[in-house]
Structure formats: structure tokens, C-alpha cells
Amino acid sequence: MSFKGLLLVPVIAVVAAFTVCPEAAAISAPRLLINQDFPDPDVVKTATGYYAFSTSAGATRIPLATAAAPDGPWRVAGDALAAVPAWAKPDGGFWAPDVTQLADGTFVLYFAAAQTAGGEMCLGVATAKKPDGPYTPDGARPLVCEPGDHGDIDPQTFVDADGTRYLLYKSDGVATGPPSAIWVQKLQADGRTLAGPRTELLRADLTAEKAVVEAPAVVKTPSRYLLFYSADTFQSTGYHTCYASAPTPAGAFVKADAQFLSTDLLGGKVDAPGGADVVDGHIFFHGWLGGGRTARGLYSLPISFPGDVPQLG
């Protein structure tokens, strides 16, 4: 998911029990932008328009869609990933892509895929000269593949005001051990080399999260830093989007005391809203289509930040 702000330092969130947010009931109806399978969306604004990328759908490794404006119309335009990386299973799928642009104009695509050896999910990179690709896999090994994580997915990059790059991602965790967590790690200027140790930012420690936090996305408001994330299992109607905030990049990050997007808060208009990305005054997210569990479409709502608090339009 594209950069919206900055989050730097090691912090563990201070948490509170979720309550229902009454203000959310008055929001406008979500707009359905792509009425076909387009899960875990990443939306990128460029000088030539808007580009969106999603988890694998059918035979398409990383589906690509384009639009001239955030509200569309959006057109699904093919496969962004030119080839399967040498380290990845060709039939294992490519999950939750993120695209960013380097200072030299190169576009870098981050994704999760299953290792050929062992089958655990790891993070890889690919590069292209244009935002719509095709993206060529970079390197013979994954960028991130921590054995103790039991899988690493959901990469997202962000860039500091001084140009320093960071990578956010989720560790899967296990049912009998530590639950999933969200981490941050510095990247070198090439966007393809890790620098320094990683830091845990959030862990799934609320009952409503069902041991899952994932799909991070960062927004910088005038005086706060907001980290959006999804929680619960994605197949569940209880899957929802939350956020944590901090007054400075040094934290500490505090989880909001209410869910931000959920099936109930959206009046049942979207089933299991998650995988959120915030770009250009819009929050983009996926939800199950047609009352089933076979395809997740791309939705959006206007979003603003009065008083440094996210508010749906």
C-alpha cells in the first residue's frame, strides 16, 4: 500500500476494549469500484493516474486496475507481475501487493508468496520502469522470511520526510504461541535492502481481534500518526478495520476504543471490510460480494481527519 505518513520507532500499543462508534452510522453508502475479485487492494496515485493492485485472482498473479480519478471508472487491466520469483511456488498465489516509487523513478512492487522450500509465506520484491509494469522479480531469495514468524505477509512501505524508507508487514503467529503482530523495518534507498533491526508495532491482544492483526496502512495528519489495520479472520463477517494513533513518531501507539470499519458499522452494505488503504481523501477496502465467500470487491468511502481523528464522509 502506498505511503501516507511516517511511523518510526519501537512501541507496543496500549489497548482498550472495542465499543460501537455511534457517529459511524451516519456515513454515506460505500461506493463499489470493482465488482469482481480484487482483494487486499493497494492504490497508488501517480502523475499519469491511479493504479490499484490486488492479491492473486484466478490465473492472474497480481491483478492491476487503472483509473483517471479515485472514484473511477476503474478498469481491470491485466497482470502486473511478469514472472514467478525463483524462490516462490508458482501455484501458491501472490498476496497483498504494495507499490512505491524510488527517487530515481523506479517502481518497486512488494508482495507475499509461498516458499518452494517449506511453503511458508515470505516477502519478495519486483521492479518496473512504469507503474503498470510489467514488474520483474528481484533477487534469488525473499526480502523477509523470518522462521519464527510462521509466515510474513501484507507488506507496506512508507517514506519519511527526509527520504528514509521503511517497510511494514505482518507476522502470522500460531494458535499455540504468540498471536500475529505488525512490524516495521528500515529499508535502504534502493527499496530492496533491509537496514537495521525490525521493531514490533502492534500485536493481536484484544478479544475481538481473534489473534489476528494485519494489512497495515499509515496516515500522517497534522499532529498525529495513524496506523490502520485489519483484525479477526478475513473469512469472518466479524473481520474489521481499526486504527492506532500516536502524537509523535516516537509513540506510544494507542489502539482506538472503537472499530472504524465493520459489517455492522456500514449497515451491512459491505461484508467484512478490510485490507484498507488511504489515498487522496479516500479509504479503499475490500468486502465479500454477493453474500458468499468466493470474491471480494473493491470499495471506497471519503475520509477526512478533523482534529487528527479519522472520519468517514
295: in domain: yes
Name the least confident of 138-147, 240-249, 295-304. 240-249
11: in domain: no
Of 176 and 48, the structure prediction assigns the larger pLDDT to: 48
Which residues contact residue 74 at a Cβ distance below 8 angstroms, ignoring those fewer than 6 apart? 33, 34, 52, 65, 66, 67, 298
**Cα–Cα dist 77/306, whole Å:** 36
To the nearest whole percent, how much of the chain has pLDDT over 70?
A: 89
6: in domain: no
Domain count, the chain: 1
Nearest of 230, 231, 229 to residue 207 by alpha carbon:
231
Is the Cβ–Cβ distance between 35 and 297 less than 8 Å? yes
pTM, entire model: 0.90
3: in domain: no
**Cα–Cα dist 141/104, whole Å:** 24
233: in domain: yes
5: in domain: no
Is the Cβ–Cβ distance between 84 and 93 less than 8 Å? no
β-bridge partners, 284: 277, 300
147: in domain: yes
Residue carrying C-alpha cell 479515485? 70
Other Cβ atoms within 10 Å of 104 Cβ, number = 7
Which residues contact residue 20 at a Cβ distance below 8 angstroms, ignoring those fewer than 6 apart? 258, 259, 264, 265
Q: What pLDDT is attached to residue 162?
A: 78
Nearest of 192, 236, 248, 195 to residue 212 by alpha carbon:
236
Of 104 and 224, the structure prediction assigns the larger pLDDT to: 104
Torsion angle in degrees (nearest 10) through CA of 226, 229, 232, 235:
150
Q: Residue 9: pLDDT above 50?
A: no
7: in domain: no
Cell of 304: 477526512
Chain mean pLDDT for the chain: 89
* Domain hosting residue 251, numbered range: 22-312
Count Cα neighbours of 204 within 13 Å in the Cβ-side half-sphere: 27
Strand, coil or helix: 160: coil
For strands 271-279 and 213-220, give the pairing.
Answer: unpaired
Cell of 288: 465479500
- The domain that holds 155 is classified in CATH as 2.115.10.20
To the nearest whole percent, how much of the chain has pLDDT over 90?
A: 75
Q: What pLDDT is attached to residue 285?
A: 98
**Cα–Cα dist 104/189, whole Å:** 10
What are the backbone dihedrals phi and psi of residue 266, each rounded to the nearest 5 degrees, phi first?
Answer: -95, 15
